[in-house]
Amino acid sequence: MRIQAGARTDLGRVRKNNEDCYEIEPALNLYVLSDGMGGQAHGEVASKLAVQTIVTHCQQAENSRATPVFGEPQPDVSERTNRLASAIHLANRKVFEAAAANAEQKGMGATIVAAWIEGQRLSLAHVGDSRAYLLRAGSLDQLTADHSLVAEKVRVGILTPQEADASELQSVLTRAVGTNATIQVDADEQMLLAGDSLLLCSDGLTRMVTDPEIASTLLTSTSAQEAADRLVELANENGGLDNVSVIVLRVLQKSEGMLERLKVWKRNSG
């Protein structure tokens, strides 16, 4: 299988600075997205530090099995998935220590959603309300559960999903990277199939664009990058109240990848 990736981040129409950050590491099939918080430039510091820490830790683990593991491993997931969770535990420590060392950055933090793909296995880990979605056979499923106050109230039946969408407390997180010395990381695995699309996104997308709109965009776009661009455009068209970042991944058979390259060669040569 081959992964086709597209990504985009945007300031939105209201914010003065972009606190989102993402990184794609093609050599590892590693994809990390973060939404920083803390005001002024501090959210940017938190998200960038978290993303860079996760990518570096995973790279080091690929090169050396002696790389330390942070956090308590989960017995029901693979070594790679536990390594991804370990990277988020380390990112939490780095952001927390940076905030403690700099009074101006006190209280900064970030969400994280990260995907690491090996063969057909998707390792997924997250903290906060940045999400992962899987589109399969036309059906869109949210793979992550938001760590937010309103999401918790929906899960216990205090709020309906519609009431949660209208709540002024949507931005109140119950977990975030860097706000405490330790963090609980949710980690899971999925088996990917040819034809699947995977979306990682910040809440700047999901507060502005409905799930049906997301599904339709993923289905009708001709490439992962076109889908990423269109989703960001939709968020801005619908108000753009926050920074918005998306990573779109398409799972292709290798033969599909060869066919796409042939089509590009034909266009370029004639």
CA atoms within 13 A of residue 79's CA, in its CB half-sphere: 5
The sign of the torsion formed by the CA atoms of 111, 78, 115, 190 equals negative
Give me the amino acid identity at 249.
Answer: L
Place of tokens 């950055």: 105
Per-residue pLDDT of the chain (270 residues), as tens digits, is 899 999 999 999 999 999 999 999 999 999 999 999 976 558 999 999 999 999 999 999 999 999 999 999 999 999 999 999 999 999 999 999 999 998 888 889 999 999 999 999 999 999 999 999 999 999 999 999 999 998 889 888 998 888 888 877 878 899 999 999 999 999 999 999 999 999 999 999 999 999 999 999 999 999 999 999 999 999 999 999 999 999 999 999 876 545 555 554 555 554
C-alpha pair distances (Å), 188 with each of 35, 116, 126, 132 = 20, 11, 9, 11
Full domain range(s) for residue 155: 2-269
pTM score > 0.85 for this model? yes
∠ CA 151-156-158, nearest 5°, is 80
Task: Show the tokens assigned to 62.
Answer: 């690929």
Whole-number Å distance between alpha carbons of 208 and 201: 12
Whole-number pLDDT of residue 41: 59
Tell me which residue of 91, 105, 79, 72 sits closest to 32, measured CA to CA: 91
For the domain that residue 186 is a member of, what is the CATH number? 3.60.40.10
The count of domains in the chain is: 1
- Strand, helix or coil for residue 7: strand
Match 């119950």 to its residue by tokens: 174
Instruction: Please check whether residue 123 is in contact with residue 115, taking contact to mean a CB–CB distance below 8 angstroms.
Output: yes
